[in-house]
């Protein structure tokens, strides 16, 4: 496996986990337990991981010569819970 692709997969897993933590842990803590700092910190981490995901999506796609369809699917996967995990299972 190429270095950019391997790093993209690791970042993708981290980004997917941070998204799930934001949706299913931090958001309930904010709205049901009145702990807004959970969203602040998990949201920041998720935002940084999302930016890294986009950068390494470009690098991996360039290195692997992915089609536009695959690139679009990888991008769309980042917008849905569990999306990055499903994307990597399919590719």
- Residue 67 zone, left/alpha/beta (φ > 0; ψ -120 to 50; rest): beta
pLDDT of residue 2: 80
Contact 22, 46 (CB under 8 A): yes
Long-range (24+ apart) CB contacts under 8 A made by 42-46 are 42/18, 45/18, 46/15, 46/18, 46/19, 46/21, 46/22
Domain range for 81: 3-90
Q: What is the reported pTM?
A: 0.92
pLDDT of residue 58: 97
pLDDT of residue 46: 97
Spans in the chain with pLDDT lower than 70: 1
The total of structural domains in the chain comes to: 1
Contact 12, 84 (CB under 8 A): yes
Count CB-CB contacts under 10 A for residue 50. Answer: 16
């Amino acid at each position: 496996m190429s270095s950019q692709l391997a790093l993209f997969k690791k970042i993708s897993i981290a980004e997917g986990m941070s998204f799930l933590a934001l949706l299913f842990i931090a958001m309930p803590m904010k709205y049901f337990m009145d702990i807004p700092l959970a969203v602040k910190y998990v949201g920041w981490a998720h935002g940084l991981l999302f930016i890294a995901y986009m950068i390494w999506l470009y690098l991996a796609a360039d290195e692997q010569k992915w089609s536009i369809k695959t690139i679009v699917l990888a991008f769309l996967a980042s917008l849905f819970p569990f999306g990055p995990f499903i994307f990597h299972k399919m590719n």
